[in-house]
A = this chain, B = another copy of it.
Amino acid sequence: MIALIHQPFCPHSRFVRLALGEYGLEVELVEERPWERRREFLALTPEGLLPVLMEDDNPPVPGADGAAEYIDETHGPHRGERRLMPLAVADRIEARRLAHWFNHKFFAEVSQPLVEEKIFKRMLTASQGGGAPNMEAVRAARVNIRYHLQYIGRLVGARNWLAGDRLTYADLAAAAHLSCVDYLGDAAWGENEDARLWYARIKSRPSFRALLSETVPGLRPSATYAELDF
């Protein structure tokens, strides 16, 4: 049995949930509010990273990067065509490069500012840094997302999936971050049609279903968030 300490609109948590979902692995979700910096939470993940994956007697696995490698090593072999980390060296380089792009660069430039300003700040007390969103950060992220959508469009225009012929961690990372942004209505789908079609494809997968049913109290999702045909 796998347990995952997560936060519903943390893009890294969503990335790991998608990976577990693609492999059909059952997972017990435990919600954590990392900004509360609970002692028990920091004992599991001293760096404060979400999510934290726990399975059997293994030590807790903190963070998206480590969880992806762990899941590949423990649940990836023998998945054949469904393995999320490809087997060929060149394909692994590309899958890791793009997963890193979304889990770090897209996060810093787009999903982190949008989620923090528009979702997490609603949940925080004033002393924790809560309050009205910093609209300058929001506007910058809305500009940044455009070139990321163009990049996705360029990649999937030449390939079937982001890192090549098959679905990999790269697609799950990109889609996890985009799903949070899409909830907020900030995914500028008009920017690139190839990117929109790719997202419609990945959003229709069963692994996505649980994510699309979650909502932020008091904040309605964008009209198209849960629409598979948007």
Please give the residue numbers on chain A whose beta carbons come within 8 Å of chain B beta carbons, in ascending order: 46-47, 49, 58-63, 65-66, 69-70, 73-74, 89-90, 92-94, 96-97, 100-101, 104-105, 151
Contact = CB atoms under 8 A, between A and B. Distances in A.
A62 B100 CA distance: 10
Contacts of A59: 90, 93-94, 97
B47 A90 contact: no
Contacts of A66: 93, 96-97, 100
A89 B73 contact: yes
Question: Most B CB atoms within 10 A — which of A58, A74, A92, A101?
Answer: A92
B73 A96 contact: no
B100 A47 contact: yes
Contacts of A58: 89-90, 93
Contacts of A73: 89, 92
A65 B63 CA distance: 13
Contacts of A60: 93
Given A47-B100, A47-B105, A66-B97, 15 more contacts: A47-B101, A58-B90, A59-B97, A61-B93, A61-B97, A62-B100, A63-B97, A65-B65, A65-B96, A66-B100, A69-B69, A69-B96, A70-B89, A73-B89, A74-B89
A101 B63 CA distance: 11
A60 B168 CA distance: 19
